[in-house]
Structure formats: structure tokens, C-alpha cells
Amino acid sequence: MSSISNSYKNKSWHLVSRPTREQLAGPQNFTLVEGEMAEPAEGQVLIRHLFLSLDPYMRGRMNDGKSYAAPQNLNETMVGGTVGEIVASRHPKFREGDRVVGMGGWQLYALSDGTGLRKLPANDSIPVEAYIGPAGMPGITAWVGTTQIIKPKAGETYVVSAATGAVGTVAGQLAKMAGARVVGIAGGADKCRYAVETLGLDACVDHRAADFERQLAGATPDGIDGLFENVGGDPFKFALRRINFHSRIALCGLVASGYDGTPTTLEDMRMVLNARCLIQGFIVTDYLPLWPQAISELSGQLASGRIKWRTSVAEGIEGAPEAFFSMLKGGNFGKQLVRLT
Amino acid sequence: MSSISNSYKNKSWHLVSRPTREQLAGPQNFTLVEGEMAEPAEGQVLIRHLFLSLDPYMRGRMNDGKSYAAPQNLNETMVGGTVGEIVASRHPKFREGDRVVGMGGWQLYALSDGTGLRKLPANDSIPVEAYIGPAGMPGITAWVGTTQIIKPKAGETYVVSAATGAVGTVAGQLAKMAGARVVGIAGGADKCRYAVETLGLDACVDHRAADFERQLAGATPDGIDGLFENVGGDPFKFALRRINFHSRIALCGLVASGYDGTPTTLEDMRMVLNARCLIQGFIVTDYLPLWPQAISELSGQLASGRIKWRTSVAEGIEGAPEAFFSMLKGGNFGKQLVRLT
């Protein structure tokens, strides 16, 4: 237990309105609220956030329609994964200086009673922000979709969209470790070059290319056995036309298929039937019992350099909404973070 | 071993042309060929067919496009499941009078070297034609989709289309045994009444009703957890709008979604993602190692009366093509057979 000697000025992004048909989602839906943090009560800790993770699922939380998660409440701190440092503790399991991962939200500080808070190893060879990236929720998402749903086998062809994003980066490298031929889909030449030269994928196709479908066919001459889908839209449609018998599709995200725009359709269910294809929509929190195994494997692979990654970092809490909406349009290159110190 | 004392006049339906855009599939694609059966050579048996099974998969075999099975060769006997009686044997495992199930095709007699031929129990309490019906391929299909893919739990809602067809009849009753609330979809009041009163389903909705979607919603007040899909088209679309979190769809057939007509689309993949839905296209021959277990369970449930079924029987080989095309339009009521003796 320690006493509070300083006062802590918080800044917190609240969701204050929801997107509508007339007014699409944007920074105007958020307001930055300033205030003083209370001292931790008995059984609480006060956390100073080091990094905030920005992730596509947050877009869904802005709506109040039926989705896999409860909508974000209005006039409360926007939900988000954070890594931070305990600055005051009245909780027996945490001490000042401990580094923790949690769902602290879009703000500089958070009070917590320890629920959902995980202490990081003290002497760790990987940076703390990895625990909200490739060794955190996005990495575990990649691990679940690859090792639990697609289960790529040596020699199979595995395609991942948003291949240099937080999830896709890890998914492609895990599939390479399993011996698959891995083809990425990404937006632009720089990302495609990075996917091949740094992440080690066998090929990467630019979804902005006018002849994308032909290029995808060229990169998957034996068809597609596994598809890790993060994006939806036309690339998904074209990939589906190449699925092999007994193919598996891990449906993780549809970021291109706007809440405000055209839905991603599946143009002919007979393709799914003829191929005896498996399609599994999933979210990573359905697999909580596997998180410890996934984190252990992923942090080991990060420490050894077998998994490579990169970040897009926005500086300061003020820029979180703009960085978020930029990311939804593919403006990030690697895991999107906000640095809060 | 026995010698041939009689001659056997065969009649055999050959596929002689394939459907085109201009000339849709129909009886004109078949020709009845007559001839004398050869005597069985050493290691062969001669089978007199008692019943031919007509099944929707045969429509796919008429095309030469990519499907889950090789196309039917032109100018050869059309493929089909049969139950028959050995009339001459030069095979050590079969004797005259043995009753066998096999893929004898659309004809009165077949020669076989025993490959794919299964001898039926001699003193059986269920009729032989059950082995090409609820204790045969269609029943095993229902068993696989229900027990291996959907896995309905007590209290869940399970929907089956073509609920009084060869597959749907068994699927719905298996789901009832598992404790699910089972809602059938069928064409017309007679089939719906049979589904509820005889098969014991909780409700059955007529897909021809103008307010089908509203009726389906009324019959599935808690949404849909399992969907055994045999038909496709609008009923499939409306059912998808009601899928629950962690729902499972066994995609078995799309008989309403013509090879010649409008494909069945999935209108919004976000429904699949949000619900974390599983969609599994399947065919029963992918599960051959489970067939003995399925046949054993199903024939036991037939013998005890726990599984009920009915047949539509066309009399004589001559009527096979017309009965087949009628069935594809829902003209059958129960398992469609052709009686050959």
C-alpha cells in the first residue's frame, strides 16, 4: 500500500454521439474530457497508461445495433486495450512500478480493482506495447484463427488480408511456421514489399491494383486452402472464387465493409457447398481459456525474433480519434498505437 | 458359385446430353437403353435391383463443371443408389438371394465385383428400401449434419429445410431426440401437417406462404441456433437473419438454387461475423469412417419406431427421369424411390 503524493490530471475521450446515415462515424462523435483522478480506494490501483491500442472492433462499439459486444455507453470513456504502469496501489497483488495490461480505455489514467488486469513479467526482452499488439489481443486473434480454425498444413496455400495490420502480421507468420505457402493482401506497394521482404510471406497482392483478381490468381496457382479474412469487400469475393475442397475461412473482420456502406455478400453459396468449405466467424474473447497458451507462444516467438512486427504510433491522447479513423481506412502501417507519455 | 440359368433383359437410363442455358435439364437428357445382361465373370455378382434412390446430388452430376463429384459420363448408366437381390454369384462373399445395397445406377440389373456393395442383414425388421433412405445415404447425411456439425443442445432452436424430404425427415427427428426445439420448413400444408403430427416437430412453416418470413420469426421466437440447409433461396436468407450467437449451419444442399437460375447469396457476412456463426458445407462421403456407426444407430431407431418416414414411389424404371425432375421441384412427399420389380 502506498499513499498518493501527487495529483494526476486525466484526459479521457468520451463517446458523445453515435454515427447516423446522415453523419458518418468520425472524430465529432468524441469529446475530450479533463479531470482530476481520484485516489485509489482500498483494493484499487491507479494506472498511468503508456500506450493505447486502436483496433477495428471499436468501430462496432460506436453503434448500438446488435453486435458481438455491448455498445459503448455514451458519455463514458471509450473502450480500449492499454498497457500502463501502476503509480499508486492499495491492492495486495500490485505494487508501484508494476507494468500491467488491461482495458483502460482512451485516457491517460485509470483506476482499477484488478479485474481484467494482468501483470507483465518484470525483466522482459520484448517491449511493453507488444502486449497490446502481437503478444496481446491482436496477436491472440491471429493465433486463434490460424491454429484453432484454419489449421494450415505444410504445402497448403493460406491467404491473409490486411496482411501488415496488427492481426494479419502475426497470422501470416504463424502460417509460414506451419509450412504453408502464404499470400498476403495489403494496400499499396510499400506494405506488400514489407510483407514479403520482412515478414517472409511468399507473395503479397495489392488490393488497389486494377487487375487485383488476376494477380491474386497468379499468386495462388493451386487455389486457396485457408483464408484469414480481416477486410471483406471485393478482395474477399475474389478470394472465395479460388477456394479449394475442404478449405477453411476464419472470418475475423470486415473493416472494408462499412457499417455505413455496402455489405460484404457471399455471391454463391454453392461455392461453399461444392468445396465443403468451413466458414467460422469468431472473436478472440470466445477463446479465453487458450489465451495463456497463446501469449506464452507469441511472446516467445517475439523474443526470439521469429515473429516480426512494426507499429504506427500517434503521439499523445489528443490524436486518438484521428488516428483511429485513419486506421479504419488503412492509413496505419503495422499495429496502430497511441503513445500516452 | 452358381450358374446362370436365365437370361436377364436390362433397361438402363443413359445420360446422353448435358443441360445448357438454352435447354434446361430435363428428361430429354436421358435415353433408355435395352440389352441383355452378361453372365457374371469369376469374382462378380449379378444383382436384380428392387429399388432405385433418386437424390438431388444427381442434378450436379449432369453438369461437367467443378463440383464435389466427378461429372456423370455421357452414354453410360446414370449414377444412383440401389438396393437389390443377388440373382447369380461367382463371388465368394455373396450368395443368391442375398440383399445388397450399392451404387447400381438407373437400371434393372447390375454386375459388380463387390466393390462398394454391402450385404444387408438376413432377418431384418425394417424394409430393404430403408437402406437407401433413412438408414442409407440420405439418413447418414442427416446424421452427419446433425450430430457432427450442428450438435444441437437441449433447449436450442434447430431449423431444417425440406423437412419432409429424405434427409430433412431424419435430421429433424434426430434434433428432437437431442432435445432441441425443431422447426421445419416445407412446401405446402400437407407436408407441414405431417412434419408436426407424424414426425413430431414443434412447428413447420410453409415456404410458399406470402408472409413466410413473419411466420418463421413467429416459430423461432428465440432465434435459430442450428440450421440444416437443404434448399437455399429466400427461406435460407430469412433464416440467416435469425441466427443466434454461436449458431451452426450445416450446408447440405441448395436444391432451390438452380444450376440454371439465381444463385443463393449470403446477403451480409457481418451477420456471420457478429454471431460468430459456423457454416460448414459438407457431403456425406467425406465421413465414410462414421457410416457404420450412423447406419447402426439409424437402423435401430427405425426398427424401434423412433424414426418415422414415408416414401414417394414411382413404379418402373421407365418413369425415373420424370420422377427425378418432379422431386427437384418438391413434387415428392418423403423419400423418392423407383420400384423396379
Q: What is the CATH number of the domain that holds A25?
A: 3.90.180.10
Query: Within an 8 Å CB–CB cutoff, is residue B262 touching chain A?
Result: no
**Residue of A211, A196, A208, A246 lying closest to A226 (CA atoms):** A246
A276–B236 CB contact, under 8 Å: no
> What confidence category does residue B2 fall into, taking pLDDT thresholds of 50, 70 and 90?
very low
**Residue of B330, B140, B326 lying closest to B338 (CA atoms):** B326
Name which residue leads in pLDDT, B176 or B259. B176
What backbone phi and psi angles, to 5 degrees, belong to B203?
-160, 160
Do B123 and B162 lie in one domain? The reply is no
Do A66 and A172 lie in one domain? The reply is no
For residue A299, being part of any structural domain is answered with: no
What tens digit of pLDDT does each residue of B242-285 get?
A: 999 999 999 999 987 766 668 999 999 999 999 999 999 999 99
- What is the per-residue pLDDT for A64? 87
Q: For residue B114, give its domain range.
A: 9-130+310-339
Q: What pTM was estimated for this model as a whole?
A: 0.94
Do A86 and A145 lie in one domain? The reply is no
- What is the per-residue pLDDT for B5? 52
Do A97 and A178 lie in one domain? The reply is no
For residue A300, being part of any structural domain is answered with: no
Helices (H), ranges, chain B: 57-62, 137-143, 166-177, 189-197, 212-219, 233-240, 269-274, 291-303, 320-328
The number of domains in chain A is: 2
Strand B9-15, strand B30-36: pairing: antiparallel
Last residue of a domain, one of A270, A285, A300: A285
For residue B297, being part of any structural domain is answered with: no
What ranges make up the beta strands (E) of chain A? 9-15, 30-36, 45-53, 82-89, 99-102, 109-112, 118-119, 157-161, 181-186, 203-206, 224-229, 243-251, 278-281, 311-315, 335-339
Do A77 and A148 lie in one domain? The reply is no
> What confidence category does residue A4 fall into, taking pLDDT thresholds of 50, 70 and 90?
very low
What backbone phi and psi angles, to 5 degrees, belong to B57?
-60, -25
For residue A293, being part of any structural domain is answered with: no
Do A45 and A73 lie in one domain? The reply is yes
- B175 near B158, Cβ under 8 Å? yes
**Residue of B333, B56, B54, B51 lying closest to B198 (CA atoms):** B333
- Which of B57, B227, B270 should one mutate to test binding to chain A, selecting the residue with the greatest count of A CBs within 10 A? B270
- What is the per-residue pLDDT for B143? 98
Q: Which of A70-74, A128-132, B3-7, B114-118 has the lowest mean pLDDT?
A: B3-7
For residue B227, being part of any structural domain is answered with: yes
For residue B48, being part of any structural domain is answered with: yes
- A45 near A94, Cβ under 8 Å? yes
Do A47 and A175 lie in one domain? The reply is no
A277–B281 CB contact, under 8 Å: yes
Last residue of a domain, one of A285, A300, A328: A285
The torsion defined by the Cα of A18, A23, A25 and A30, in degrees rounded to 10, comes to: -60
What tens digit of pLDDT does each residue of A217-227 get?
A: 999 999 999 99
Query: Within an 8 Å CB–CB cutoff, is residue B267 touching chain A?
Result: yes
Q: Which chain A residues are within 8 Å of B263, Cβ to Cβ?
A: 267-270
Average pLDDT over residues A213-242: 97
What tens digit of pLDDT does each residue of A5-47 get?
A: 568 999 999 999 999 888 899 999 999 999 999 999 999 999 9
- Which of B161, B269, B285, B286 should one mutate to test binding to chain A, selecting the residue with the greatest count of A CBs within 10 A? B269
A267–B265 CB contact, under 8 Å: yes
For residue A291, being part of any structural domain is answered with: no
**Tally of CB atoms within 10 A around B54:** 25
- What is the per-residue pLDDT for B256? 78
What tens digit of pLDDT does each residue of B45-88 get?
A: 999 999 999 999 999 999 987 666 789 999 999 999 999 999 99
B282–A267 CB contact, under 8 Å: no
| Cα torsion angle, B255, B245, A285, B149, sign | negative
Do B168 and B82 lie in one domain? The reply is no
Cα–Cα distance for residue pair A235/B169, rounded to 1 Å: 39
Cα–Cα distance for residue pair A229/A223, rounded to 1 Å: 16
Cα Rg of chain A, angstroms = 21
Strand A224-229, strand A157-161: pairing: parallel
What tens digit of pLDDT does each residue of B301-329 get?
A: 999 999 999 999 999 999 999 999 999 99
What tens digit of pLDDT does each residue of B82-110 get?
A: 999 999 999 999 999 999 999 999 999 99
What backbone phi and psi angles, to 5 degrees, belong to A141?
-60, -45
- A58 near A78, Cβ under 8 Å? yes
Do B169 and B59 lie in one domain? The reply is no
Query: Within an 8 Å CB–CB cutoff, is residue A254 touching chain B?
Result: yes
What tens digit of pLDDT does each residue of B189-225 get?
A: 999 999 999 999 999 999 999 999 999 999 999 999 9
B residues 20-79 lying closer than 8 A (beta carbon) to A: 66-68
B251–A232 CB contact, under 8 Å: no
- What is the per-residue pLDDT for B262? 86
Query: Within an 8 Å CB–CB cutoff, is residue B236 touching chain A?
Result: yes
Q: Is the pLDDT of residue A164 over 50?
A: yes
Cα–Cα distance for residue pair B24/A270, rounded to 1 Å: 18
- ipTM higher than the 0.85 cut: yes
pLDDT > 70: percent of chain A: 96
For residue B169, being part of any structural domain is answered with: yes
- B61 near B25, Cβ under 8 Å? no
What tens digit of pLDDT does each residue of B12-35 get?
A: 999 999 998 888 999 999 999 999
Average pLDDT over residues B142-155: 98
Q: Is the pLDDT of residue A326 over 60?
A: yes
Domain containing B153 — which CATH number? 3.40.50.720
Beta bridge partners of A280: A250, B278
Do B281 and B142 lie in one domain? The reply is yes
Q: In this complex, which of A66, A246, A269 lies closest to B266 when CB atoms are compared? A: A269
- What is the per-residue pLDDT for A296? 96
| Cα torsion angle, B152, B158, B159, B163, sign | positive
- Name the grid cell of B325: 425432375
Beta bridge partners of B278: A280, B248
Do A185 and A147 lie in one domain? The reply is yes
Q: Is the pLDDT of residue A66 over 70?
A: no
Do A107 and A145 lie in one domain? The reply is no
Q: In this complex, which of A60, A270, A279 lies closest to B263 when CB atoms are compared? A: A270
Query: Within an 8 Å CB–CB cutoff, is residue B288 touching chain A?
Result: no
Strand, helix or coil for residue B142? helix
- A170 near A230, Cβ under 8 Å? no
Q: Is the pLDDT of residue A63 over 70?
A: yes
**Tally of CB atoms within 10 A around B315:** 12
Q: Which of A118-127, A286-295, B139-148 has the lowest mean pLDDT?
A: A118-127
The torsion defined by the Cα of A279, A284, A287 and A289, in degrees rounded to 10, comes to: 160
Q: Is the pLDDT of residue A197 over 90?
A: yes
Q: In this complex, which of A267, A274, A276 lies closest to B286 when CB atoms are compared? A: A276
- What is the per-residue pLDDT for A298? 98
Q: In this complex, which of A265, A276, A283 lies closest to B268 when CB atoms are compared? A: A265
- What is the per-residue pLDDT for A21? 84
Q: Is the pLDDT of residue A156 over 70?
A: yes
Q: Which chain A residues are within 8 Å of B63, Cβ to Cβ?
A: none
Q: Running DSSP on this structure, what letter comes out for residue B189?
A: H
B residues 187-206 lying closer than 8 A (beta carbon) to A: none
> What confidence category does residue A185 fall into, taking pLDDT thresholds of 50, 70 and 90?
very high
Which residue of chain B is at minimal alpha-carbon distance from A258? B270
Strand, helix or coil for residue A61? helix
How many Å lie between the alpha carbon of A280 and the closest alpha carbon of chain B?
4
Which residue of chain B is at minimal alpha-carbon distance from A255? B270
